[in-house]
């Protein structure tokens, strides 16, 4: 298994500002993902964070709104830009591919609870 940490754990932000969320894994992984969970809803994949190249975004999500970095195999950031109250959600990172091979089972970070006022 992997130990995944996220910073911050929660934040309250004003509309129009941006927040960068960090995801740190205690071992190298092949795949890192970012999900959004709106209040009372299920999880929706935002993008796959690719090491050394641009992230792969899902339909409905764009790089200008959710820029993602992945400088190495253990770390990634997600920025929520120009926030509005509709961005209030839990943002979770997850990983797959411990030791290089995908097992399809994903390990999730504890999430970042974002409230936009």
Partner 1 sequence: SQQGEEDPQALSIQEGENATMNCSYKTSINNLQWYRQNSGRGLVHLILIRSNEREKHSGRLRVTLDTSKKSSSLLITASRAADTASYFCATVAGTASKLTFGTGTRLQVTL
* 44 touching partner 1, by CB under 8 A: yes
Please give the Cα distance from 97 to 33 (Å, whole number): 11
- Please tell me whether residue 109 binds partner 1 under the rule CB under 8 A: yes
**Number of residues engaging partner 1 in binding (CB under 8 A):** 26
101 binds partner 1 (CB under 8 A): no
Q: Which of 51, 79, 97, 115 binds partner 1 (CB under 8 A)?
A: 97
Phi, psi of 34 (to 5 degrees): -125, 130
Check residue 98 for interaction with partner 1 (CB under 8 A): no
Is 82 a residue that touches partner 1 (CB under 8 A)? no
Closer to partner 1 at the Cβ: 9 or 18?
9
Q: Please, which residues have CB within 8 angstroms of residue 108's CB and are 6 or more apart in sequence?
A: 4, 92, 93, 94
């Amino acid at each position: 298994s992997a130990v995944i940490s996220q910073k911050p754990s929660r934040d309250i932000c004003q509309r129009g500002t941006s927040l960068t969320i960090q995801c740190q894994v205690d071992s190298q992984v092949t795949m890192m993902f970012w999900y959004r969970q709106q209040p009372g809803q299920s999880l929706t994949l935002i993008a796959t964070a690719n090491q050394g190249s641009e992230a792969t975004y899902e339909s409905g999500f764009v790089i200008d709104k959710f820029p993602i970095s992945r400088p190495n195999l253990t770390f990634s950031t997600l920025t929520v830009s120009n926030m509005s109250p509709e961005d209030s959600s839990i943002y979770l990172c997850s990983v797959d591919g411990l030791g290089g091979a995908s097992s399809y089972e994903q390990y999730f970070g504890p999430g970042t609870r974002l409230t936009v006022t």
